[in-house]
Structure 1
Amino acid sequence: GFIYPISTEQRTQNEYGFSSAPDSDDVALYVGIVIAVIVCLAISVVVALFVYRKNHRDFESDIIDSSALNGGFQPVNIKAARQDLLAVPPDLTSAAAMYRGPVYALHDVSDKIPMTNSPILDPLPNLKIKVYNTSGAVTPQDDLSDFSSKLSPQITQSLLENETLNMKNQSLARQTDPSCTAFGTFNSLGGHLVIPNSGVSLLIPAGAVPQGRVYEMYVTVHRKENMRPPVEDSQTLLTPVVSCGPPGALLTRPVILTMHHCAEPNTEDWQIQLKHQAAQGPWEDVVVVGEENFTTPCYIQLDPEACHILTETLSTYALVGQSITKAAAKRLKLAIFGPLSCSSLEYSIRVYCLDDTQDALKEVLQLEQQMGGQLLEEPKALHFKGSTHNLRLSIHDIAHSLWKSKLLAKYQEIPFYHIWSGCQRNLHCTFTLERFSLNTLELVCKLCVRQVEGEGQIFQLNCSVSEEPTGIDYPPMDSAGTITTIVGPSAFSIPLPIRQKLCSSLDAPQTRGHDWRMLAHKLKLDRYLNYFATKSSPTGVILDLWEAQNFPDGNLSMLAAVLEEMGRHETIVSLAAEGNY
């Protein structure tokens, strides 16, 4: 009887305990509603952003066909600009990757644009432009070289006909000596740029410029001392400082930069290093000759008088040497000048001690011509050793009854490090002689130049001293002195069909070794074969280097003899059929 009521009370308590369940369901429902609202808001925001970006993209794509693009560059009248540009050379700082305009002649534009003292390769102003075309978006670029290389031909043409060409004028107005620059427009057929009588050139092999692109390329020698790399006491600058461009241009095979050096290339006495400078930043080490590896971006072929730099990076380069022993020697060029005419009693003789490179002598010849000087005798070479001894100059055998020297000491000296560094331009000293009478019209004497405890040279001078110019007898220049730009197949000695045949037959390894490795060995280009092995066509790169070495004559007879030794008789017949052998 007592069990039933107890059971009923417990059931009632259980019912009371379950009475809170509907409240929990309500909370879960509210939470679900809140989450759904948040998700809807998030989806709405995403959709709104997508619509906004789509509209923004459509707006930017319209810039291509509107005047807004040109307006951003402050254009001038395009037709008028074309007229003016016929006399304006291309900008040496811009990378006109798709430019298809003409090659302009160098003219004086100083009457239009003020001259400045800025370096030849000043950086362009930062340009932050975002352009879209039918092929996709172009990301913002700070460098016009990267920017213009990615634009379509139509856009690039428009840009170059406006503000960029104004930049060209300003840049070239700063170039006071156009004789140290060569430029041209090149496509995938390649070509050759040559700075006359300087020993500096840039070979653009066929296929180096990507198919369908056109680059306006240049090579220039920097003569200002502040453009030269810093060197330590035992280091010396062995080449001119040379830039090639446009910087940042995409290349599909190495170009070859050639420049004269003044080192006696004995690897036991020297450590020779290639340095480069990008965008006027600090000078950086690239590679030490003889220490190349698979990660080395350049290859250096060091010939007795010239170095050939194979690179896919267009930049500013210089070769620096560090003497390991005191027997390390660099070649100097000694050049003696006097006045073209002399109406006073005094007669000055200037003795230049230059690095033995063509461009150093060319610069002095140009300077003396402007000063009214003449070369008194053929320049001579002198081996200058890293022994820390000075260079001593003295004058002898003067007719003392007719002339007297105004030099109180017996000789003059140029400090060793002034010469060894190679960073001082036009280094010279002057001997001033005085004649007793204006009737004396001839000067005969000897001039001695030698390194203390080293080699020396003696000049026998026989000078005509008169008020009338006697004429300047400059040393003969090379036969390629008038060549600046060669475009297309005519720039190469090896005909294209023969070249293709050689590449197809020599690129594949041969069991007997009659492949590109033997070709490199026969041509003495086998110092570091791994560089060629990393290229898609090792034979092609070897032949490119051979072309650079043998420009402008192209010693095809020697190449034919090498191929005959390798058993390539069919190629010899082809050369004969082409009329080149």
Structure 2
Amino acid sequence: MEEDYNQTDVTPYFTPYSCANCECCLAVEGSGIVLLVSCVLIAFFLFAVLPPLIAIFHRRRKSRPHKENSESQIQDLNDLETVELNSNVLQRETGNVNEGYLYVETECEIINKDSAFRTCIEKAEVWKSALTSTNYDQNAFCLPYFRAGIFDKRGGSLTFEEAGITLLIPPGAIQQPTPQLIYIYLHNGNQNSLGITSNMMATSPVVFCGPSGMKFNERVLLSYQHCANIINNNVELITLRTETEPDQIPNFYNLSDDNDSLTLVKGNTVTLMLPHFTGHTTVVQCEQESVPIVQEKWLDLMLFSSQMQEDEYYLQVRLYCSNQTPDARYLILEDERLLNGSMCSPTTPFLFAHVSDLTVLLNPEGDWTVTGGKTKQVISRKCLIENVRVPCVYLLEYDKDKMVTSTKCRVHVTQDEREESHGKIIDVLVKTQKSAEPEKVPNTRLVRRRLLLPYPLRESIRKKLDVPNTLGKDWKHLAYSIGYDDCIHQWEDQLRKGLIFSPTNELLNIWESTRSGDEKHDLEEILEIFKNMERLDVLSDITSLNLTV
């Protein structure tokens, strides 16, 4: 018999509401109420309580410079190079593109350290190919650590002013018939990776000029700064050369081994006369035949801090002890730009002797304390000798329940605990800042500059002054006039050996590389020099050309 589904009583399957007195049903109903209340509480927590907690945590984490994060962030500076391309920042770095003097990159990127140099070269080549103007002395390509320009037979100069580096190409020096892309690359790693021997102390930047190996008809001029203490010591600076590229492991040797080069030292300026492009640096020797020699160099103590924002109660203070040279300052400012740091004290000079470590003691004032209580730190002599660019880091904090809008502290730097002659006390003040404003400095310089004295005029002056004069009114008098009379014997020696043919040309190169840049003033200066030399024939040559400035 078939079952009639239409007549089947289905009431028993739907009787939950018909058994109100059933204990099982009462339990189910109670569980539903509990579940509903739980959902309401969870929703209240998610939408009313959790967001403020997340905001507080984020603010604390942003403001607190954890030690492990700080160390890794500082270490990243040695692994990465940032191409700073914020338009406001570039006003200081590369000027205004509308001035026609400089080229400004406009996109932001991170360059891996292993490929930084190659990337700069590739970008410079693209810039060169896109350049339509043949007025090369008013165009230059600029990136952090890198400057480039185009040069032809007329020569010119390329200046890396922030790093204190100048490269001058004399007229007629370039052998190639076509314009050449020439660059300066500032090594931005630590000196300990350069293979400098342990008995030498780094006192200058490591500068690469290129294309590497490029040869010239006449020696080019490269100048940079050193920080060796040469006033009270009989210090002999040693210039090193490497034939390697900037992205290769260098192999340095003494430049004095090359008879075709010349090193001149005046004050804190090192000037090299070079027949071809390579990499260079200058050091002092701290040991000779196993006998230690106490050598000194000047350091800059530079203090930076993290930004102190409102409602933040953690602060990081970073002390750099670097060479007192423009390039070292430039590299530290680039590092601090990555860290968004602020200089919190004027730069302080420090005379460092290579024989011992430096001791740093930080004493915070008021409610600030040093995290971990470690107020004393030691910077090893090895790091200072090699000019390792890693700061001494302090983490400060205060009670979050108190309102603090500034911090004061005192940093005491000593060597061998000789406070009288080897100690420096630096007062630090950091105030609350709502936002960090980029430094805006108007651009008043030319990275790529023409030579004031054209080639025909230089040739005329050379022919007149290279010939010995019985009254001493020759190239030696010119050397005296520009302050290089103590280097005359070096040129005389190279003349005897047939290594140079015109000391006058090299003296004119030195004058061109050190002139002010105000062409009207510079022209008056060179006229005054030859007037004092009583060389009316040279004065006549200059005035007859009617140089326009």
Question: What is the TM-score of this pair, normalised by structure 2?
Answer: 0.66
For residues 366 and 105 of structure 1, the distance between their equivalents in structure 2, rounded to whole angstroms, comes to: 19
Task: Choose the corresponding residue for 2:369, options 404, 418, 436.
Answer: 404
For residues 193 and 379 of structure 1, the distance between their equivalents in structure 2, rounded to whole angstroms, comes to: 28
Q: Kindly tell me: are residues 300 and 549 of structure 1, through their superposed partners in 2, closer, same or farther at Cα, counting changes over 3 Å?
A: farther
Task: Choose the corresponding residue for 1:118, options 89, 92, 114.
Answer: 114
Q: Does 1:273 align with 2:242?
A: no
Q: Kindly tell me: are residues 471 and 109 of structure 1, through their superposed partners in 2, closer, same or farther at Cα, counting changes over 3 Å?
A: closer
Task: Choose the corresponding residue for 2:411, options 398, 423, 447.
Answer: 447
For residues 395 and 241 of structure 2, the distance between their equivalents in structure 1, rounded to whole angstroms, comes to: 40
**Cα offset for 1:470?**
5.7
Corresponding residue for residue 178 of structure 1:
143
Q: Kindly tell me: are residues 535 and 412 of structure 1, through their superposed partners in 2, closer, same or farther at Cα, counting changes over 3 Å?
A: same
- Letter of the 1:268 partner, please give it: N
Q: Following superposition of structure 1 onto structure 2, how do residues 195-210 of structure 1 map, counting pairs within 5 Å?
A: 195-210=160-175
Q: Does 1:530 align with 2:492?
A: yes
For residues 106 and 228 of structure 1, the distance between their equivalents in structure 2, rounded to whole angstroms, comes to: 31
8 Å CA contact retained: 1:236, 1:321:
yes
For residues 242 and 477 of structure 1, the distance between their equivalents in structure 2, rounded to whole angstroms, comes to: 26
**Cα offset for 1:572?**
4.7
For residues 315 and 529 of structure 1, the distance between their equivalents in structure 2, rounded to whole angstroms, comes to: 22
Q: Kindly tell me: are residues 412 and 366 of structure 1, through their superposed partners in 2, closer, same or farther at Cα, counting changes over 3 Å?
A: same
8 Å CA contact retained: 2:157, 2:513:
no
- Letter of the 2:343 partner, please give it: L
Corresponding residue for residue 196 of structure 2:
231
Q: Following superposition of structure 1 onto structure 2, how do residues 318-357 of structure 1 map, counting pairs within 5 Å?
A: 318-323=281-286, 326-342=293-309, 343-357=311-325
Comparing 408-417 with 321-330, greater Cα deviation is found at 321-330
Q: Does 1:392 align with 2:351?
A: no
Question: What is the TM-score of this pair, normalised by structure 1?
Answer: 0.63
Q: Secondary structure at the match of 2:252?
A: strand
Q: Following superposition of structure 1 onto structure 2, how do residues 408-487 of structure 1 map, counting pairs within 5 Å?
A: 408-422=373-387, 424-425=388-389, 427-436=390-399, 437-452=401-416, 453=418, 454-466=421-433, 468-469=434-435, 471=437, 480=445, 483-486=446-449
Q: Secondary structure at the match of 2:511?
A: helix
For residues 193 and 351 of structure 1, the distance between their equivalents in structure 2, rounded to whole angstroms, comes to: 32
- Letter of the 2:238 partner, please give it: I
For residues 541 and 204 of structure 1, the distance between their equivalents in structure 2, rounded to whole angstroms, comes to: 11
Q: Secondary structure at the match of 1:418?
A: helix
**Cα offset for 1:457?**
2.5
**Cα offset for 1:284?**
3.4
Q: Does 1:246 align with 2:225?
A: no
Corresponding residue for residue 259 of structure 1:
224
Q: Does 1:501 align with 2:467?
A: no
- Letter of the 1:376 partner, please give it: C
8 Å CA contact retained: 1:202, 1:255:
yes
Corresponding residue for residue 517 of structure 1:
476
8 Å CA contact retained: 2:213, 2:243:
no
Corresponding residue for residue 339 of structure 2:
371
Unaligned runs of 5+ in 1: 1-102, 124-159, 166-176
- Letter of the 1:412 partner, please give it: Q
For residues 327 and 494 of structure 1, the distance between their equivalents in structure 2, rounded to whole angstroms, comes to: 45
For residues 246 and 415 of structure 1, the distance between their equivalents in structure 2, rounded to whole angstroms, comes to: 37
For residues 515 and 371 of structure 2, the distance between their equivalents in structure 1, rounded to whole angstroms, comes to: 49
Q: Secondary structure at the match of 1:283?
A: coil
What is the alpha-carbon root mean square deviation over aligned residues?
3.6
Q: Kindly tell me: are residues 351 and 570 of structure 1, through their superposed partners in 2, closer, same or farther at Cα, counting changes over 3 Å?
A: same
For residues 330 and 204 of structure 1, the distance between their equivalents in structure 2, rounded to whole angstroms, comes to: 31
Corresponding residue for residue 535 of structure 2:
568
Corresponding residue for residue 29 of structure 2:
none
- Letter of the 1:339 partner, please give it: S
For residues 117 and 580 of structure 1, the distance between their equivalents in structure 2, rounded to whole angstroms, comes to: 45
Corresponding residue for residue 17 of structure 2:
none
For residues 228 and 302 of structure 1, the distance between their equivalents in structure 2, rounded to whole angstroms, comes to: 26
For residues 264 and 393 of structure 1, the distance between their equivalents in structure 2, rounded to whole angstroms, comes to: 22
For residues 117 and 384 of structure 2, the distance between their equivalents in structure 1, rounded to whole angstroms, comes to: 27
Q: Secondary structure at the match of 1:258?
A: strand
**Deviation per residue, 1:127-177 (Å, 9 max, x gap):** xxxxxxxxxxxxxxxxxxxxxxxxxxxxxxxxx99xx99xxxxxxxxxxx9
- Letter of the 1:375 partner, please give it: M
For residues 553 and 393 of structure 1, the distance between their equivalents in structure 2, rounded to whole angstroms, comes to: 44
For residues 322 and 389 of structure 1, the distance between their equivalents in structure 2, rounded to whole angstroms, comes to: 16
Q: Kindly tell me: are residues 444 and 341 of structure 1, through their superposed partners in 2, closer, same or farther at Cα, counting changes over 3 Å?
A: closer
**Cα offset for 1:206?**
0.9
Q: Does 1:539 align with 2:504?
A: yes
8 Å CA contact retained: 2:235, 2:284:
no
Task: Choose the corresponding residue for 1:212, options 158, 165, 177.
Answer: 177
For residues 269 and 541 of structure 1, the distance between their equivalents in structure 2, rounded to whole angstroms, comes to: 25
**Cα offset for 1:350?**
0.8
Q: Secondary structure at the match of 1:248?
A: coil
For residues 482 and 240 of structure 2, the distance between their equivalents in structure 1, rounded to whole angstroms, comes to: 23
Q: Secondary structure at the match of 1:514?
A: coil
- Letter of the 1:234 partner, please give it: N
**Cα offset for 1:278?**
3.1
Q: Secondary structure at the match of 2:215?
A: coil
**Cα offset for 1:414?**
0.4
**Cα offset for 1:429?**
0.8
**Cα offset for 1:261?**
1.9
Comparing 178-187 with 551-560, greater Cα deviation is found at 551-560
For residues 536 and 515 of structure 1, the distance between their equivalents in structure 2, rounded to whole angstroms, comes to: 15
Q: Kindly tell me: are residues 117 and 393 of structure 1, through their superposed partners in 2, closer, same or farther at Cα, counting changes over 3 Å?
A: closer
For residues 224 and 241 of structure 1, the distance between their equivalents in structure 2, rounded to whole angstroms, comes to: 9
For residues 307 and 107 of structure 2, the distance between their equivalents in structure 1, rounded to whole angstroms, comes to: 30
Corresponding residue for residue 360 of structure 1:
328
**Deviation per residue, 1:370-397 (Å, 9 max, x gap):** 22211112212212112x121121223x
8 Å CA contact retained: 2:307, 2:315:
no
- Letter of the 2:477 partner, please give it: M
Q: Does 1:312 align with 2:275?
A: yes
